Amino acid sequence: MKQHLLLISLALSLSGSATSAEDIKVGVILGFTGPIETLTPAMADAAELAFKEASQSGKLLDGATITPVRADSTCVDAAAATAAMERLVSADNVVAVYGADCSGVTTAAANNVAIPNGVVMVSPSATSPALSSIDDNGYFFRTAPSDARQGEVLAKVVMGRGIKNVAITYTNSDYGKGLSESFSSAYKALGGNISAVAAHEDGKADYAAEVGALSAAGGEALVVFGYLDQGGKGIVSAALDTGGFDKFIFADGMIGQSIIDAIGKPLEGSFGTLPGGDGPNAEKFLQYATQAGFDGDGPFRASSYDAGALLVLAMQAAGNAERASIQSNMMNVANAPGVKIRPGEIAKGLEVLAGGGDVDYVGATEVEFNDVGEVFGTYKEVEVKSGKFETINTH
């Protein structure tokens, strides 16, 4: 009998030691296929760098590790994104989600799955102004600023370059519509003229008709609020092929190396804006990313790292990885007061929290949440020079 009890005790002891270091699943939902598929791999790498940093520190919840579980949002298919989110939440049982990316699929995944199931989502790139007012019960956050601000910044940049008459085309999505409306309002208020505004659909083989109508209306430049791997690229190619426009103005969805590689020298001088800064914390992130083996200088990579970092810090502040506990601590770790935590300092933040202290995560993008869980943000003004998007200024 004593021997039997000893075996039971030993089994329980071994079981306890095997599970004491918890394996925590976090969803990573991005458009790994679709109109921004060349942007998302590095975004995922950035978020997963934060998860790896926390896991390898040994300081997260007494040695817990994060296992990222990837899913494809497609960027444009709301039904597919909803199904992918449902799998993450119900089948994979993730405790929180980094993503989604494009505004329409983010809205669908949040409203249909994440919010009803009490799962935090932190998007690094969904920028539609409409997301500021969704009924999220405090479960939706974003580390990229609203396009209500980007429209204003870009309008000032365009007018500052002396361009006073433009045509606009936008992808027929929440992202495209919201950004077009924001830019148009701000540009007109500054005295600019808009010769024509027209939506375009992604996935078409030929955009000559759309470009022809925009060109006929006139304009010094064509503003393209689209996606660099689909319709936006098609619009630019058609404009160059037909001679409709030779000067282009972009926002974040059009900024990436793949469009320069596809079109080449005719893009020289094209310019635009995207969220990001160039201060010491941004520079620290670039150096940290390089050490980790990837290029951190690209759209939404810094905001992706920050989204991942906030999730793990919220877990630590809560003392567990339960869904509701993560939600209740997101604001606490993102905002003052507390020890400021910068890129590469997640372990420091975990240690402070474990000791009962507070952290103020500033990260790579100077994170500070407003009352609806989104950031004000800064923007880079970039221009195509010698075959690359180069940062000209910050706003």
Q: Are residues 190 and 258 both part of a single domain?
A: yes
In angstroms, the CA 93 to CA 142 distance is 22
Which of 7-16, 23-32, 222-231, 352-361 is the least confident region? Answer: 7-16
Q: Which residues is 98 bridged to in the sheet?
A: 28, 122
Q: Are residues 383 and 347 both part of a single domain?
A: no
Model confidence at 202: pLDDT above 80: yes
Residue 54 lies in a domain: yes
Q: Are residues 225 and 241 both part of a single domain?
A: yes
Main-chain dihedrals φ then ψ at residue 10, nearest 5 degrees: -65, -40
Q: Are residues 262 and 284 both part of a single domain?
A: no
Q: Are residues 269 and 287 both part of a single domain?
A: no
Using DSSP bridges, classify how beta strands 248-250 and 271-275 pair: parallel, antiparallel or unpaired.
Answer: parallel
Q: Which residues is 339 bridged to in the sheet?
A: 359
Residue 115 lies in a domain: yes
Q: Are residues 94 and 201 both part of a single domain?
A: no
**Contact predicate 154/182, CB 8 Å:** no
User: 66 vs 45, 70, 86, 241, CA distance in Å?
Assistant: 14, 13, 20, 49
Model confidence at 14: pLDDT above 50: no
Kindly report, residue by residue over 220-267, the tens digit of the pLDDT.
999 999 999 999 999 999 999 999 999 999 999 999 999 999 999 999
Q: Are residues 240 and 344 both part of a single domain?
A: no
Q: Are residues 389 and 240 both part of a single domain?
A: yes
- The pTM is what? 0.92
Model confidence at 5: pLDDT above 80: no
Kindly report, residue by residue over 142-193, the tens digit of the pLDDT.
999 999 999 999 999 999 999 999 999 999 999 999 999 999 999 999 999 9
Q: Are residues 174 and 69 both part of a single domain?
A: no
Kindly report, residue by residue over 335-356, the tens digit of the pLDDT.
999 999 999 999 999 999 999 9
In angstroms, the CA 246 to CA 262 distance is 16
In angstroms, the CA 174 to CA 172 distance is 7
Q: Are residues 140 and 123 both part of a single domain?
A: yes
Q: Are residues 200 and 155 both part of a single domain?
A: yes
| 236: CATH | 3.40.50.2300
Of 17 and 195, more confident: 195
What's the whole-number average pLDDT of the chain?
94
Tell me: cis bond preceding 337? Omega within 30 of 0 counts. yes
List strands edge to edge, sheet with 221-225.
Answer: 193-200, 165-171, 221-225, 248-250, 271-275, 379-385, 388-394
Nearest Cα neighbor of 36 from 312, 264, 304, 390 is 304
Q: Are residues 77 and 192 both part of a single domain?
A: no
Model confidence at 317: pLDDT above 60: yes
Which of the four pLDDT bands, split at 50, 70 and 90, describes residue 101? very high
- For residue 198, count CB atoms less than 10 angstroms from its CB and return exposed for 0-12, middle for 13-18, buried for 19 or more: middle
Residue 6 lies in a domain: no
Residue 257 lies in a domain: yes
**34 is in which domain, residue-wise?**
23-146+280-361
Q: How many domains does the chain have?
A: 2
